């Protein structure tokens, strides 16, 4: 008997964050991702693991972009509980995140018209800005409000 059995990987996850339990598709593939939500505000986060890295053991640009897309577009879900698609995204890369870093992201609405959201977003790790940018997201089909979304909070 030995104790070198495979144990689930454990990370220290900052307080307030809960796992986004995506069980399929690209969301699962690039996970685990986390979210904190309170009073209609939110942020998303992830710990940089090996499968997120480039050849320099930093978070791959593609991973940070995918995360930015999700973290910034998520505000459409928060605001009006609907599915959404990305129309345009502009990202400025300011600094890199290293293996093991905790990375966070969030967006704020600049304008909203006919279901088209213009969002200003940022991605950061501790006190370092990693990406700033903006996105245009189009709300499509409405769905049932979920925890952390304004309509859900209003109902409960």
Task: Tell whether residue 53 is a contact of its own copies (CB under 8 A).
Answer: yes
When binding is defined by CB under 8 A, the residue of 41, 90, 110, 147 that contacts its own copies is 90
In the list 93, 110, 129, 146, the residue contacting its own copies (rule: CB under 8 A) is 93
Q: Which stretch binds its own copies (CB under 8 A): 2-10, 39-47, 80-88, 100-108?
A: 80-88
* C-alpha of 83 from chain center: 15
Is residue 98 part of the contact set for its own copies (CB under 8 A)?
no
Among 11, 19, 26, 38, binds its own copies (CB under 8 A): 26
Residue 60 neighbours by CB under 8 Å, 6+ apart: 52, 53, 54
For position 52 contacting its own copies by CB under 8 A, the verdict is yes
Which H or E element spans position 151?
helix 150-155
Calculate the alpha carbon distances from 99 to 51, 53, 108, 147 in Å. 10, 7, 27, 31
**What are the angstrom distances between the C-alpha of 8 and each of 4, 11, 48, 116?**
12, 10, 16, 41
Give the range of 11-19, 92-100, 118-126, 144-152 binding its own copies by CB under 8 A.
92-100
32: preceding bond cis by omega (within 30 degrees): yes
Smallest gap from residue 130 Cβ to its own copies (A): 12
Q: Which residues bind its own copies (CB under 8 A)?
A: 24-30, 50-56, 59-63, 65-67, 69-70, 73, 83, 85-93, 96
């Amino acid at each position: 008997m030995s104790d070198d059995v495979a144990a689930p990987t454990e990370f220290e996850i900052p307080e307030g964050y809960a796992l986004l339990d995506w069980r399929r598709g690209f969301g699962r593939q690039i996970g685990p991702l986390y979210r904190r939500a309170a009073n209609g505000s939110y942020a998303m986060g992830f710990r940089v693991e090996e499968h997120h890295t480039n050849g320099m053991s930093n978070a791959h640009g593609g991973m940070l972009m995918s995360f930015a897309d999700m973290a910034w577009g998520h505000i459409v879900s928060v605001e009006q509980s609907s599915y959404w698609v990305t129309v345009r995204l502009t990202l400025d890369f300011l600094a890199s995140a290293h293996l093991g870093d905790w990375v966070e992201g969030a967006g704020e609405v600049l304008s909203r018209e006919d279901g088209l959201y213009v969002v200003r977003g940022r991605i950061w790790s501790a006190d370092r800005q990693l990406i700033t940018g903006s996105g245009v997201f189009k709300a499509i089909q409405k769905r049932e409000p979920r925890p952390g979304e304004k309509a859900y909070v209003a109902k409960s």
